[in-house]
Amino acid sequence: MKTQPTDLQYLPLDLKRELLPHHVAVIMDGNGRWAKRQGLPRIMGHKAGVNVLKDLLHCCKDWGIKALTAYAFSTENWKRPEEEVEFLMTLFQRVLRQELREMVEENVQIQFVGNLSALPQALQTEISRSMAQTQDNRSIRFTIATNYGSRQEILQACRAIAQKVQEGLLKPDDISEEIFEAHLYTAGVADPDLLIRTSGEMRLSNFLLWQMAYGEIYISDALWPDFNRSEFHRALSAYQQRERRFGKV
Ligand code: FPP
């Protein structure tokens, strides 16, 4: 997981360490448009996007952010051309295999969320291996949402809870936010404080609908392959100007 030497290796002086988000989530949008602008096929945008994600993970570690979640593939992304879907699945598998050793050395905990059972078997194998080998790592928690859809996540939580009610293990009145959260794919992970979406689009696109109830949203005009540490710095500066009230005055 080597990154380019950068003058933003350390937390920029204008950022306050105590006001950093604990958990940052990203919607990595604009890969296709980036590739098109370079006269390249769309898939080259995804390939370039992997390096950006790797550097962002490194950057979060360098600057002291403890959790990063990336939206890699949504339940709706199956509707893309078959070659693109196939390319993405192979890319995930290859990157996982290539990067695992370094993730272990760097104490990164890898976690996947989504309907993983519908992914190609070879990818599922890499996912299980990477999660098992990094489960005790604590420098940063890196969550990759793959075949993830927030509505589907909420529905499967409802079904699991309904089943428990039917079996007499839970009463309807017992269903609290905590119990509900424990049935989401993201059980045990604190909600994101900041969600960054690139390429200027202003939508959640079925990503972390429950978890983003109070999260701050930052839209960057950069296309994902151009999202670098300076852009991240800008996002964090904007975040630190926000007043988070959580419904209070
Ligand atoms: C959205 O851009 C991007 C994706 C659907 C794929 C994102 C995946 C990566 C960057 C690879 C991550 C790798 C690992 C191992 C987690 P788009 O194609 O919708 O762009 P467009 O809106 O310009 O068409």
Q: Out of 28-37, 70-79, 136-145, 239-248, which region has the weakest mean confidence (pLDDT)?
A: 239-248
The mean predicted confidence, pLDDT, of the chain is: 96
- Quote the CA–CA distance of 230 and 219 in Å, as a whole number: 14
The ligand 1 atom at the shortest distance from the C-alpha of residue 96 is: 15
User: Which residue's entry shows tokens 């794919």?
Assistant: 185
Centroid of ligand 1 to alpha carbon of 18 (angstroms): 31
User: Which residue's entry shows tokens 């002291």?
Assistant: 64
Per-residue pLDDT tens for 128-138? 999 999 999 99
Centroid of ligand 1 to alpha carbon of 13 (angstroms): 31
Eight-state DSSP code of residue 192: P
pTM for the predicted model, two decimal places:
0.95
Greatest CA separation for the chain: 60
Q: How confident is the model at residue 6 (pLDDT cuts 50, 70, 90)?
A: low
Q: CB of 71 within 8 A of CB of 28?
A: yes
C-alpha distances in Å from residue 202, one per residue of 9, 42, 116, 199, 220: 29, 22, 27, 9, 9
- Cβ partners under 8 Å of residue 78, min gap 6: 85, 147
pLDDT of residue 7: 67
pLDDT of residue 78: 98
pLDDT of residue 12: 96
Smallest Cα–Cα separation from 199: which of 235, 226, 217? 226
Average pLDDT over residues 238-244: 92
pLDDT of residue 52: 98
Per-residue pLDDT tens for 187-214? 999 999 999 999 999 999 999 999 999 9
Catalytic position from the list 77, 137, 206, 228: 77
- Quote the CA–CA distance of 162 and 4 in Å, as a whole number: 50
Centroid of ligand 1 to alpha carbon of 72 (angstroms): 6
* Residues whose beta carbon lies within 6 Å of some atom of ligand 1: 28-33, 46, 49-50, 53, 70, 72, 77, 92, 95, 144
Residue 167, phi-psi category: left (phi > 0), alpha (psi -120 to 50), beta (remainder): alpha
For atom 15 of ligand 1, the residue with the nearest CA is: 92
In three-state secondary structure terms, 174 is helix
Q: CB of 195 within 8 A of CB of 217?
A: yes
pLDDT of residue 247: 82
137 is catalytic: no
- Quote the CA–CA distance of 103 and 109 in Å, as a whole number: 8
pLDDT of residue 1: 46
Phi, psi for 150 (deg, rounded to 5)? -70, -40
For atom 14 of ligand 1, the residue with the nearest CA is: 92
Per-residue pLDDT tens for 32-91? 999 999 999 999 999 999 999 999 999 999 999 999 999 999 999 999 999 999 999 999
Q: How confident is the model at residue 2 (pLDDT cuts 50, 70, 90)?
A: very low
For atom 16 of ligand 1, the residue with the nearest CA is: 72
